[in-house]
C-alpha cells in the first residue's frame, strides 16, 4: 500500500472490545507497517478523566496483555497515540481541530479511518456530529467502520442507514462482522468456486440439506443488560449465521471483488422464503452442567429479569427458492451454554437411489457429509463409507481430513484481517446496506410475533423442539466428535 499515512480514530477507545481486540491489533499492524506510514491513533471516549498519557498507558497495557509488547512500546505509544474526550456537541468541534493538528504535525496526507466501537444507541448521534463538523470529508480517503448489530429491526436499520448516508457515501462504509473475517469463512468461496469437484454437486440434485451451527459453551457473562434488550436472534442469527448462509448458497460472482460478491449475497436474501412460526424454535438456558461444572440458568444471571422470556438459543429452517436450492432446507442453530464451542457447516448429500448394501448384513451408516469446521480445529472433513477389513461385510463412515494448523500453522485472526482491509479499501468482507435490509426483512416479523421460548438445560444441545424441527423432515442435527 502507499505511504500516504493514516489517522485511525477509535471511538469507544476505553471499552472492553477496544482493550481486548482492537487496540492490540491496531498497534501490532501499525508497528509492522501494514497500516501505512506515518501512522497515528486517536482514541475517543466519554471519559473526562482520561488524557493522552493515561490512554497511552492503557494502550501499552492492552498490547502487552495480548502478548504483543516490546521494549520500545511505551516510546512508540508516546509518539503515535493521542486521546480526546467527546460527549457533548462542542467536543466534536474541538476534535475536528485536533484531527487537523495531528495530521499537520505528523505529516499525514488526510487518510482517515473511523471505527465506532460503541453501543448501537450511540451510532446516530456520533455520525451526525461527525458530519456537522466536517469529519466525513478529508483531503485523502475517509472510511467509517461500524460494529454490529446494525439496527434492532427493519425500521431502525433503515433509519440508521439514512443517518449514515447523510454524512458518508456507501463506498466509505465498512459494516464489520468479524465472523466473515475468519480465514476459514473466506475460504468457503475458494473451496466452492476453485474446485469443480464440489461446485458440480453444489445443488438440489445432490444435496439433501445444509446445517449451520454456531455454538457457545459460555453464558452471557456480564452482558445481562445488553442481552435483555437484544436476544440471540438479533445478536447472532441476523448477522453471523445469515452471512454464512449467503456464502454457502450464493451463485458464482462475476468477479472476486466487493460489488460482485455482495450482489450475489443480496440475491440469496431476496430469494429466501418468508419464515413461518413452525420454522423457528426459541430457547433459553436453565441451570445445568457445562464441562463438568454446575452453572446458573439465564434468569439467575446478573441484570436479567427473573421472569425473562429473552431467547438465548435459536434454531430455524430456511429455504432459498432459487433454481440451485429449491426444496433443500437450510437449518441454522446457535445458542449459549451448549456443550462446547463450535462453528461448522455440514452439507449432507443425498443417499443413492438404490441402497445396494442395505439388503446385506451391513451396519447402516450415515450418508456422505462435508463438514467445514470454522472454529476451533479449523479444517474440512469429507465423510464417506468404506469396507472394514474381514468378514462379515461391514461398512464404516470415515473422514478424509484437512487441517489448517497442520498445513499453515496459526491463522490470522478476524480483526487482524479486517482492520488491514479497511486501510487497503477492500470492502469484499464487509456488509453492504442492501444485505442489512434484506436480512432484517426476513427476521423482523419473527421479533414481532412473540414466539414461545422453550427451556433447555445448560450443557445440552438446546430444547427438544429443535430436534423435532429436523425430525419432521426425516433429518437430525449432526454432532461430530
Q: Are 44 and 82 in contact (CB under 8 A)?
A: no
Strand partners, 113: 8, 143
80 is catalytic: no
* Count of CB atoms situated within 10 Å of the CB of 36: 22
- The helix or strand, by DSSP H or E, that contains position 248, with its residue range, turns out to be helix 242-249
Q: Is the peptide bond before 22 cis (omega within 30 degrees of 0)?
A: no
Q: Name the active-site residue from 91, 240, 291, 475.
A: 240
Q: How far is CA 366 from the centre of its chain?
A: 31
Kind of pairing between the strands at 313-319 and 280-286? antiparallel
Q: Is 210 exposed, middle or buried (0-12, 13-18, 19+ CB in 10 A)?
A: buried
Beta strands in 296-352 (DSSP E): 313-319, 329-335, 342-349
Cα–Cα distance between 356 and 367 in angstroms, integer?
14
Kind of pairing between the strands at 81-85 and 39-45? parallel
Cα–Cα distance between 328 and 331 in angstroms, integer?
10
Nearest alpha carbon to residue 18 among 38, 39, 45? 45
Q: Are 207 and 350 in contact (CB under 8 A)?
A: yes
Q: Are 174 and 436 in contact (CB under 8 A)?
A: no
Strand partners, 282: 314, 453
Q: Is 267 exposed, middle or buried (0-12, 13-18, 19+ CB in 10 A)?
A: middle
Q: Are 453 and 284 in contact (CB under 8 A)?
A: yes
- The helix or strand, by DSSP H or E, that contains position 374, with its residue range, turns out to be strand 369-375
Cα–Cα distance between 1 and 377 in angstroms, integer?
32
- Catalytic residue numbers, as ranges: 240
Amino acid at each position: 500500500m502507499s505511504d500516504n499515512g493514516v489517522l485511525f480514530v477509535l471511538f469507544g477507545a476505553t471499552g472492553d472490545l477496544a482493550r481486548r481486540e482492537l487496540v492490540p491489533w491496531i498497534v501490532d499492524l501499525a508497528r509492522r507497517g501494514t497500516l501505512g506510514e506515518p501512522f497515528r491513533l486517536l482514541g475517543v471516549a466519554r471519559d473526562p478523566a482520561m488524557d493522552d498519557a493515561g490512554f497511552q498507558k492503557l494502550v501499552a497495557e492492552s498490547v502487552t496483555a495480548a502478548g504483543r509488547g516490546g521494549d520500545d512500546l511505551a516510546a512508540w505509544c508516546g509518539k503515535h497515540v493521542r486521546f480526546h474526550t467527546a460527549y457533548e456537541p462542542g467536543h466534536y468541534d474541538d476534535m475536528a481541530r485536533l484531527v487537523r493538528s495531528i495530521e499537520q504535525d505528523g505529516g499525514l496526507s488526510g487518510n482517515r479511518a473511523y471505527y465506532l466501537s460503541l453501543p448501537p444507541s450511540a451510532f446516530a448521534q456520533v455520525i451526525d456530529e461527525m458530519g456537522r463538523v466536517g469529519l466525513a470529508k478529508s483531503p485523502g480517503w475517509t472510511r467509517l467502520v461500524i460494529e454490529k448489530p446494525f439496527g434492532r429491526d427493519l425500521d431502525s436499520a433503515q433509519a440508521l442507514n439514512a443517518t449514515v448516508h447523510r454524512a458518508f457515501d456507501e463506498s466509505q462504509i465498512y459494516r464489520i462482522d468479524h465472523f466473515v473475517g475468519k480465514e476459514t469463512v473466506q475460504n468457503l468461496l475458494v473451496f466452492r468456486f476453485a474446485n469443480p469437484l464440489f461446485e458440480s454437486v453444489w445443488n438440489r440434485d445432490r444435496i439433501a440439506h445444509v446445517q449451520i451451527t454456531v455454538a457457545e459453551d459460555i453464558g452471557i457473562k456480564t452482558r445481562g443488560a445488553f442481552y435483555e434488550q437484544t436476544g440471540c436472534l438479533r445478536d447472532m442469527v441476523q448477522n453471523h449465521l445469515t452471512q454464512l448462509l449467503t456464502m454457502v448458497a450464493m451463485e458464482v460472482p462475476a468477479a472476486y471483488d466487493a460489488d460482485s460478491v455482495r450482489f450475489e449475497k443480496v440475491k440469496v436474501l431476496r430469494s429466501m422464503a418468508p419464515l413461518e412460526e413452525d420454522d423457528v424454535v426459541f430457547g433459553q438456558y436453565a441451570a445445568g452442567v457445562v464441562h463438568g461444572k454446575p452453572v446458573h440458568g439465564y434468569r439467575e444471571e446478573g441484570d436479567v429479569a427473573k421472569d425473562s422470556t429473552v431467547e438465548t438459543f435459536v434454531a430455524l429452517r430456511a429455504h432459498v427458492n432459487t433454481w440451485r436450492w429449491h426444496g433443500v432446507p437450510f437449518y441454522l442453530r446457535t445458542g449459549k451454554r451448549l456443550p462446547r464451542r463450535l462453528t461448522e457447516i455440514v452439507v449432507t448429500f443425498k443417499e443413492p437411489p438404490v441402497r445396494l448394501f442395505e439388503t446385506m448384513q451391513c451396519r447402516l451408516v450415515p450418508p456422505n457429509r462435508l463438514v467445514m469446521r470454522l472454529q476451533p480445529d479449523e479444517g474440512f472433513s469429507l465423510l464417506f463409507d468404506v469396507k472394514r477389513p474381514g468378514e462379515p461385510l461391514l461398512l464404516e463412515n470415515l473422514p478424509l481430513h484437512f487441517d489448517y494448523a497442520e498445513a499453515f500453522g496459526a491463522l490470522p485472526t478476524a480483526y487482524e484481517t479486517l482492520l488491514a482491509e479497511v486501510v487497503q479499501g477492500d470492502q469484499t468482507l464487509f456488509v453492504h446496506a442492501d444485505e442489512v435490509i434484506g436480512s432484517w426483512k426476513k427476521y423482523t416479523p419473527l421479533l414481532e410475533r412473540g414466539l414461545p421460548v422453550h427451556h433447555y438445560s445448560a450443557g445440552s444441545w438446546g430444547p427438544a423442539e429443535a430436534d423435532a424441527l429436523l425430525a419432521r423432515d426425516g433429518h437430525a442435527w449432526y454432532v461430530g466428535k
